[in-house]
């Protein structure tokens, strides 16, 4: 039964959406607050949910509802409606498992497209879940860019030791994969790799989940620390660990032993600890959310995982890798990626990093027409992000307020920075693409106050003082 649950505190909006969806042939239900919403979900799980992230007069906000539904009903696709400009909340929602988000004000066609995609993706996922269960996905790390090679060489150095590693980086950038890489290439490879999802385990259950428990009726129920014995325990989003649990973990790291809840015998475990965070832990320490001593214990070897926008050269490689992986694991069509589509993908912002790229590829393969090469038109990206529609450039507010000369310079600077980034800082390739002589491009960059640095591995920096930093170099 394909019914849709619409959760919005504004009656007019939920009724409007409901009417339109009914006209499109969907059955709908509505909820104006979190209690009604949870009661509806529990009585009959809907095929899809549309959820306003801001609910007034509700005990839980939209993100809490999202978490609760995803925890108990992970297969219900949830589309988030967020206010304009709430991109961070929307990204957080995607991270918590939302299928997609649309910003208010939205047009109804947009919403219908997203609903159709979500329904289709969910159907395919159900059909392919058996396949997925059998195979699992290869956890190969892909990349060739200088930033990526730098990461791999740091990871290779820590595989031989037992040192505690702290991986920092934006959501979806590949921190967990990096931790798995360290595990797989270490002497502990045959022992377990256990993930502790600090943001998703409820605070009052955290200790039982980590330390396990002992009761007369059920005997010993080992926690995650015990399950990881001999291998690696990975604390994902460690900043979200409750303060009380932080103290207990600190004690385990010092004593190398702990008690199960309700137990009296000390348990000894041999573990390697790898942690990750996408938040600024030093800031969390300053504001009292994270224990400094634990930070120093966990942060023996800090390694930063670069954002996808810092390694745009890897975008086509990753895109093709995901086409192959999704073909193998989910039976999606194995299509070639056109050069134009790959180039456009290299210029997009990717706030959700590699995970977002993977989702985009999955979406293209599910929705795309036929099995031929993926054309540029199938790459999603709203016109603002893409900037160009049928050869017309969209002028944003700020640019429109500048005199022509300054607007042209601003455009040239952004355009050239994007191109240089795409080509990994290689000026010759950039010059060839933009159709300029190499030396003319250098002069142009200099006049726009843009220099490229070799020190940062092909990344681009802007400097005010050209004399101090020298001339542009590849």
Ligand X SMILES: Nc1ncnc2c1ncn2[C@@H]1O[C@H](COP(=O)(O)OP(=O)(O)OP(=O)(O)O)[C@@H](O)[C@H]1O
Binding site for ligand X (CB under 6 A): 95, 141-143, 169, 171-177, 236, 276, 278, 318, 321, 354-355, 358
Neighbours of 243 (CB within 10 A): 12
- Other C-beta atoms closer than 10 Å to the C-beta of 156 total 12
Q: To the nearest whole angstrom, how small is the minimum distance from the Cβ of residue 27 to ligand X?
A: 34
CB of 97 to ligand X, least distance (A): 11
Q: How far is the CB of 352 from ligand X (least distance, A)?
A: 9
Cα separation, 394 vs 367, in Å, equals: 27
What tokens does 462 get?
């802007």
User: Which residues neighbour 161 within 8 Å (Cβ) at sequence distance 6 or greater?
Assistant: 301
- Residue closer to ligand X by CB (options 225, 325) is 325
Shorter beta-carbon distance to ligand X: residue 77 or 169: 169
SS3 label, residue 337: strand
Work out how close the CB of 66 gets to ligand X at its nearest, in angstroms, rounded to a whole number.
15
Report, in Å, the least distance between residue 74 CB and ligand X. Answer: 16
User: Is the CB of 142 or the CB of 253 nearer to ligand X?
Assistant: 142
Q: How far apart are CA 168 and CA 174, in angstroms?
A: 10
Q: In angstroms, what is the minimal distance from the CB of 308 to ligand X?
A: 8
CA dist., res. 140 & res. 1, Å (int): 38
Is the CB of 276 or the CB of 346 nearer to ligand X? 276
CA 216, 230, 191: angle at the middle one, nearest 5?
110
**Minimum CB distance to ligand X, residue 179 (Å):** 8
Give the closest residue to 471 by CA, choosing from 448, 453, 458: 453
CA–CA separation, 164 and 154 (whole Å):
13
Give whichever of 387 and 457 is closer to ligand X, judged by the CB atom: 457
The rounded distance, in Å, linking the Cα atoms of 107 and 61 is: 24
Q: Minimal distance in Å, beta carbon 172 to ligand X?
A: 5
Instruction: Round to whole Å and give the CA distance between 289 and 198.
Output: 14
Identify the residue whose tokens are 């396990």. 212
Residue 291: which of 300, 282, 304 has the closest Cα?
282
d(C-alpha 198, C-alpha 211), whole Å: 14
State the nearest-atom distance from the C-beta of 4 to ligand X, in Å: 27
List beta partners, residue 402: none
Smallest gap from residue 278 Cβ to ligand X (A): 5
Helix (H, G, I), strand (E, B) or coil at 319: helix
Cα–Cα distance measured from residue 314 to residue 461, given in angstroms and rounded to the nearest whole number: 20
Q: Which of 144, 129, 176 is nearest to 320 (CA)?
A: 144
Smallest distance from the beta carbon of 353 to ligand X, in angstroms? Answer: 7
Residue 454 Cα distances to 149, 200, 259, 416, 424, angstroms: 15, 41, 52, 17, 10
Is the CB of 115 or the CB of 354 nearer to ligand X?
354
Q: Which is nearer to ligand X, 308 or 420 (CB)?
A: 308
CA dihedral defined by 81, 51, 125, 379, rounded to 10 degrees?
0
466: Cβ contacts below 8 Å, ≥ 6 apart: 446, 449, 451
76 CB contacts (<8 Å, ≥6 apart)?
A: 41, 45, 46, 47, 48, 49, 69, 70, 122
Closest distance to ligand X from the beta carbon of 138 (Å): 9
In the bound complex, which residue of the shown chain has the CB atom lying closest to ligand X?
A: 174
């Amino acid at each position: 039964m394909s019914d849709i649950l619409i959760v919005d505190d504004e009656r007019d909006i939920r009724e409007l959406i409901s009417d339109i969806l009914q006209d499109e042939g969907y059955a709908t239900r509505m909820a104006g607050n979190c209690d009604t919403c949870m009661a509806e979900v529990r009585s009959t799980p809907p095929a899809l949910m549309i959820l306003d992230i801001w609910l007034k007069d509700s005990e839980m906000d939209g993100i809490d509802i999202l978490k609760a539904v995803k925890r108990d009903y992970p297969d219900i696709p949830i589309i988030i409606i967020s206010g304009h400009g709430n991109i961070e909340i929307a990204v957080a929602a995607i991270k918590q498992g939302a299928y997609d988000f649309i910003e208010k004000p939205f047009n109804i066609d947009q919403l219908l497209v997203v609903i159709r995609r979500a329904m289709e993706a969910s159907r395919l996922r159900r059909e392919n879940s058996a396949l997925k269960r059998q195979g699992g996905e290869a956890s190969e790390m892909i990349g060739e860019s200088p930033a990526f090679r730098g990461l791999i060489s740091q990871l290779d150095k820590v595989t031989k030791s037992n040192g505690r590693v702290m991986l920092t980086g934006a959501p979806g950038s590949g921190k967990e994969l990096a931790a798995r890489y360290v595990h797989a290439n270490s002497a502990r490879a045959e022992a377990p790799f256990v993930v502790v999802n600090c943001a998703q385990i409820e605070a009052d259950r955290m200790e039982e989940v980590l330390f396990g428990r002992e009761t007369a009726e059920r005997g010993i129920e080992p926690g995650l620390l015990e399950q990881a014995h001999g291998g690696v325990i990975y604390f994902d989003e460690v900043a979200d660990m409750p303060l009380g649990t932080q103290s207990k973990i600190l004690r385990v790291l010092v004593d190398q032993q702990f008690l199960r809840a309700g137990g009296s015998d000390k348990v000894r475990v041999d573990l390697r600890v790898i942690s990750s965070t996408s938040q600024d832990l030093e800031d969390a320490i300053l504001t009292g959310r994270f224990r400094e001593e634990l930070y120093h214990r966990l942060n023996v070897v800090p390694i930063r995982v670069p954002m996808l926008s810092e390694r745009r050269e890897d975008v086509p490689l990753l895109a093709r890798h995901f086409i192959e992986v999704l073909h193998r694991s989910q039976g999606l069509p194995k299509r070639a990626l056109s050069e134009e589509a790959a180039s456009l993908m290299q210029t997009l912002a990717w706030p959700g990093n590699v995970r977002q790229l993977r989702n985009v590829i999955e979406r293209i393969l599910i929705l795309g027409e036929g099995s031929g090469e993926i054309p540029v038109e199938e790459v999603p990206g709203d016109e603002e992000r893409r900037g160009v529609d049928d050869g017309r450039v969209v002028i944003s507010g700020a640019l429109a307020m500048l005199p022509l000369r300054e607007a042209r310079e601003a455009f040239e600077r952004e355009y050239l920075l994007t191109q240089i980034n795409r080509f990994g800082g290689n000026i010759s390739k950039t010059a060839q693409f933009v159709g300029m002589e190499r030396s003319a491009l250098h002069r142009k960059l200099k006049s726009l106050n843009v220099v490229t640095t070799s020190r940062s591995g092909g990344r681009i920096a802007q400097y005010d003082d050209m004399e101090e930093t020298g001339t542009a170099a590849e």
